Copies of this chain bind each other. A is one copy, B any other.
């Protein structure tokens, strides 16, 4: 498995980090190689799952049956690398800056650019992502310590089954944020208003409720997992659920974004100011 993706924030050349078009261009040209959280914070970001056209309707049905984890923001035409409704100049094969390539259900490569392996029958789905609601939460005064510490939220594979559709099935993945009680309540109320970005939390307070034995053992080993004494773990349904499902489906071919390298769209978030 060749890995050419940088995972730490790394702005090589200056660009307007709040302009989604400038962010996409910087990623495309290799001037930004880090995560996309903290960038274009007033705009929606999304998960990418590109599947062969023969499986696209089943995958859409799977997303709709598990819409809290997989809210569909856009679906491309077969083979199309553009999705103008989400960004006029969007190139789905280049603009996340991080791709996971799967063959026969196995993760075979990680790349910064997917043009070399893109196929004419790929249908791309862009799915709502917690990076969007994190910006909304911050705008409502919720402290997100993992962002203060330059980290991402941790993810966990839970003991909850998703609703299967066609070959797609698997356990629900959640993202976790360490919040103080008042912020947990505020975050619950605010996020519930945004079903397109996973909506309200699905659990909180007790990792065992989701079959999580040890918070330190996050999915992929990423993210902030250590709670302060005055914090609760709060769990939201996560778009990474889609990666579990495409692995489970053993598709002959599939591309997803690589963790925390998201599709940055031109869709504006309903926020005015940010810290």
Residues of A at the B interface (CB closer than 8 Å) are 180-182, 184-185, 188-189, 192, 200-206, 208-209, 229-230, 232
Q: What is the CA–CA distance of A35 and B158 in the complex, to the nearest angstrom?
A: 42
Nearest to A235 among chain B residues (CB) is B181
Q: Return the contact of A182 from the options B181, B185, B203, B230 (Cβ within 8 A).
A: B203
Q: A185-B204, A204-B205 are in contact. List 4 more A-B contacts (CB 8 A).
A: A182-B203, A185-B203, A204-B232, A208-B230
Q: Return the contact of A203 from the options B181, B188, B189, B202 (Cβ within 8 A).
A: B181
Main secondary structure of the interface of A (DSSP, over half): mixed
B230 touches A209 (CB 8 A): yes
Chain B residues with CB under 8 A of A229: 208
Nearest to A209 among chain B residues (CB) is B181
Q: Return the contact of A181 from the options B180, B181, B189, B205 (Cβ within 8 A).
A: B205
User: Given A205-B232, A208-B230: A189 and B200 within 8 A (CB)?
Assistant: yes
Chain B residues with CB under 8 A of A206: 181, 230, 232
Q: What is the CA–CA distance of A232 and B181 in the complex, to the nearest angstrom?
A: 12
Chain B residues with CB under 8 A of A182: 202-203, 209
B188 touches A205 (CB 8 A): no
A200 touches B185 (CB 8 A): yes
Chain B residues with CB under 8 A of A230: 206, 208-209
Query: Which of A181, A184, A201, A229 has the most chain B CB within a 10 Å cutoff?
Result: A181
Please list 11 pairs of residues, one from A and one from B, whose beta carbons are closer than 8 Å in the complex, sorted by A's number.
A181-B203, A181-B205, A181-B206, A181-B209, A185-B201, A185-B203, A188-B188, A189-B189, A204-B204, A205-B205, A206-B232
